Structure 1
Amino acid sequence: PRARGFGPEQVADVNAQLMQRLGYDRYALQGGDWGAIVSRWHAFKHASPVVGLHLNMLIAGPPAGVENPTEGVSDSDLARMRERQAFFQGPETGYSQIQGTKPQTVGYGLNDSPAGQAAWIVEKFRTWCDCNGNPETIFTKDQLLTNITVYWVTQTATSSARMYYESRHASSSRDVGRVEVPTAGAIFPHELFFAPRQWAEASYNLTRWTEMPRGGHFAAMEQPDLFVED
């Protein structure tokens, strides 16, 4: 959209309107990455037609109003959460900082350079997948090229980068609250974020929690069988 301030909450509102106009009065939501954030807003604000929410990047902060939010959380879960935080917040936030502050600058460059577009995307597969730094142990070259080509043919490097900028400048009508829609979490070991189950239960009506044996941030593409089965 041309209007500024179009962040995750606004995307959720539009998605809800779209489903209504298409005639869907019952449907489920699934999300990872931005899709997880948008779907959380959708399930929170437009819960009535949503029969379930499935997330493979389950974001949840410490429960509000609790004196010691880590009470009852196992040492192993705390260690896992801190390891994931250190992994992402240290060397993995450069892309987010530039897309969140100067999206047009990086976007025009990527739209003008196939090699730049490829490098920008494949680096994320290399680092964020459960592949020991070699995405071609998980994906074929054609799969990676197809993903890159979608951005290149549609020239959407800039618009996708703007989501980071707009999310920082969007005005939300309220804070996202507890999601009462039945929620399932598919917890992949190499996902960027990890929230202890106790925190997830405070933020969602958690009815299913699946610890996956392998997989990372691009779960549906990395481990489609595990993803679909869940």
Structure 2
Amino acid sequence: MNEVAEQKAAPATGSAELRPFTYKASDADLADLRRRIEATRWPDAETVKDSKQGVQLATIQKLAQHWATKHDWRKVEERINAVPNFITNIDGLDFHFMHIRSKHENAFPLLIAHGWPGSIIEQMKIIGPLTDPTAHGGTEADAFHLVIPSMPGYGFSARPTTTGWDPVRIAAAYNTLMPRLGYKKWGAAGGDWGAIVVEQMALKTPPGLVGIHTNMANVVPPDLDKKLFIGEPVPSDLTGDEKKAADQLHEFYRHIGYALLMGDRPQTLTGLTDSPVGLAAFMIDHDPVSYDMIARSINGTPEGLTPDDVLDNITLFWLTNTAISAGRLYWENKVPFFAVKGVTIPVAVSAFPDELFQAPKSWAEKAYPKLVHYNRLPKGGHFAAWEQPKYYSEEIRAGFKTLR
């Protein structure tokens, strides 16, 4: 199987040049994918009536059937190639990124960082609302120029062949990318790993970065985070919103087997590069709340993500053979996921109810001394831009309103 069937970009030179990029998977790779899906050897069904044991057999079988018979990767390719894509070399590694400039002259430059098991697919729905706000209920003053990079080892970016590509180094690369594109002033936003990366960007305080937006705020008091991680009871002296957040995080920490595996022995997960259905099951079980939402969609209930949304992202991982290289980020990481990092530049926080925890305003105010925006949303979860693009776009507009 080819890693990338047809990938058009000039050869790497190690310089700061920007090389236009397009992608097309081969017919042979797509046929091989379908064959592998249809040849899946299925496990026994779970012995419970719910998802306590993980991805349910009937659910993954429905998703696989849709993948083999209805999902159209060519439509995804068209959407990717419909916007400007580039490759540039930073710190010895080729980075892929989308760069979509608004038609509005005073648009604000914004880098949006994805996480795991995400990719550039997560941000595709917000490109229109943010770059062309007048067509999506906004004004010219709401316009953004968007830069959407693929993390090292993810999608179309190069897969590191040496150690060291952790969130701190990725943040440094992103802080290099924005000035390279000619921007003297910009913002950054992210969720999941992207939230951690943009905080690391902020900690470096580059002169052009005026503020960040996060939908997975790193605001948990460090001592509390440590207690919750090892399973100690939620303290009784928390406020209502704080207790809710601690309860959510306490529950999530009971279901992080995927992160522990990738953080300890990512190379052992070889089966993810050999079985597309195995890869799909592993990727949709990020956390119980997100999985239940995705499972409802697969089983016919309209949700923020459709089966095709989910398969668009999984197929990108499959075709680029990046399941293991993406997972190594967990092995490389040395910073806590949710604890306070010490960011001092302006921060906007969007607290979605079905995030791993809904960040309380009291924690956000302590973690971010320059909190410029905080809002609790009525709907949405861990993949906010992907699940609720309207809410997310509105939050980005509000978060950077005073920083543009």
Residues 1:62 and 1:125: Cα distance change in structure 2 (over 3 Å): closer
In terms of mean alpha carbon deviation, does 154-163 or 74-83 score higher? 74-83
Stretches of structure 1 that go unaligned for 5 or more consecutive residues are 65-72
Question: Do structure 1's residue 46 and structure 2's residue 205 form an aligned pair?
Answer: yes
Contact 1:190 1:215 in 2 (8 A): yes
Offset of residue 177 of structure 1 = 4.7
Taking CA–CA contacts closer than 8 Å with sequence separation of 6 or more, which of the two structures ends up with the larger relative contact order? Answer: 1
Give the SS at the match of 2:285. helix
Counterpart of 2:263? Answer: 100
Contact 2:256 2:287 in 1 (8 A): no
Offset of residue 178 of structure 1 = 2.6
Counterpart of 2:354? Answer: 190
CA distance in structure 1 between the aligned counterparts of 2:319 and 2:217, rounded to whole angstroms: 31
Contact 2:381 2:387 in 1 (8 A): yes
- 1:115-194, aligned counterparts within 5 Å? 115-124=277-286, 127-128=289-290, 131=293, 133-136=295-298, 137-138=302-303, 139-168=305-334, 177-194=341-358
Contact 1:61 1:199 in 2 (8 A): yes
CA distance in structure 1 between the aligned counterparts of 2:325 and 2:394, rounded to whole angstroms: 32
Task: State which of 182, 185, 189 in structure 2 corresponds to 1:23.
Answer: 182
Give the SS at the match of 2:327. helix
Q: Which has the larger radius of gyration?
A: 2
Question: Do structure 1's residue 200 and structure 2's residue 364 form an aligned pair?
Answer: yes
Contact 2:221 2:340 in 1 (8 A): no
Counterpart of 2:164? Answer: 5
Question: Do structure 1's residue 228 and structure 2's residue 396 form an aligned pair?
Answer: no
Sequence identity of aligned pairs in percent? 40
Offset of residue 223 of structure 1 = 0.7
Residues 1:135 and 1:225: Cα distance change in structure 2 (over 3 Å): same
Contact 1:36 1:55 in 2 (8 A): yes
Offset of residue 119 of structure 1 = 0.8
Residues 1:47 and 1:135: Cα distance change in structure 2 (over 3 Å): farther
Alignment TM-score, normalising by the size of structure 1: 0.85
Counterpart amino acid of residue 25 in structure 1: K
| TM superposition outliers: structure 1 runs of 4+ over 4 Å | none
> CA RMSD of the aligned region, Å?
2.5
Contact 1:129 1:216 in 2 (8 A): no
Contact 2:350 2:377 in 1 (8 A): yes
- 1:207-218, aligned counterparts within 5 Å? 207-218=372-383
Task: State which of 234, 250, 255 in structure 2 corresponds to 1:86.
Answer: 250
In the alignment of these two chains, the number of paired residues is 216
CA distance in structure 1 between the aligned counterparts of 2:221 and 2:340, rounded to whole angstroms: 14
CA distance in structure 2 between the aligned counterparts of 1:29 and 1:47, rounded to whole angstroms: 12
Alignment TM-score, normalising by the size of structure 2: 0.50
Counterpart of 1:34? Answer: 193
Stretches of structure 2 that go unaligned for 5 or more consecutive residues are 1-159, 224-236, 396-404
Counterpart amino acid of residue 105 in structure 1: T
